[in-house]
Amino acid sequence: MITSPTRFAGRTATLIDNIFTNAPTQVTSAIILSADISDHLPVLIHLDLTPLTKTGPTTYFSRNINDSSMEHFKILLTEIDWSSVLDICKQNDPSAAYDTFVGLFKVAYDKAFPLLQCTRHKRNFFKQPWMTTGLLKSCRTKSKLYLKMLKHPTATNKENYVKYRNKFKLLRIKTERIYYASEFKNIRATLSILGKLLDLFLTPPVTARK
């Protein structure tokens, strides 16, 4: 089904990537992608199969966790009456004490970080959570430069592509690191608060010696 070269090396081009099918009448098109993920261009075909049911925008629930909501959460925790947890601890019932603690903790958590219903439109959906509109635009520019280099393998086109690819890679890695650093910061803050509260209630009280 593939009839054009799929591997380029300098000024040579070879067709060594193929797709075979026993249903050629269902093939609507055969495509070679100009992607630089390897030294071979990816290939694919479109088949006329049962069409997928079209769906509207998908909805999902998310919590808005930021510095402001974290401060609100800390204040809510200081306002909770933990005496019920302490009373159960004195009765040597750790399971009930833990359930009570988690219940009070979750009430404050849900109040500080309420679930918000969001709508995800297909055009705004990124497969990677750290992807931005700017990065997506740069990725498309990189693909155009790569395609230009394949069609016209000159030294100038190759130099332009390599420079842009390297800059894009550095920017992508930086953006990805910033995103996950922020995510880990939010998780650490929540776990730190939870850990301190657990230490407070699980540490046995110190009795004065006579």
Residue-wise pLDDT tens digits, 142-165 = 888 888 888 888 999 889 989 999
What pLDDT, on the 0 to 100 scale, is given for residue 121?
58
Q: Which stretches of the chain are DSSP H helices?
A: 67-78, 83-90, 94-112, 133-151, 155-202
Single-letter amino acid code for the residue at 12: T
The 10s digit of each residue's pLDDT in 39-79 is 777 777 776 665 444 455 677 788 888 888 888 988 998 89
Q: Residues 25, 46: contact at Cβ < 8 Å?
A: no
Percent of the chain with pLDDT over 90: 12
Mean predicted lDDT score pLDDT of the chain:
78
What pLDDT, on the 0 to 100 scale, is given for residue 164?
92
- 26-35, 120-129, 152-161: least confidently modelled range: 120-129
Tokens coding 141: 């520019």
Tell me what the mean pLDDT of segment 190-202 comes to: 65
Cα(118)–Cα(61) distance, integer angstroms: 6
Whether residue 122 has pLDDT greater than 70? no
Better-predicted residue by pLDDT, 106 or 129: 106
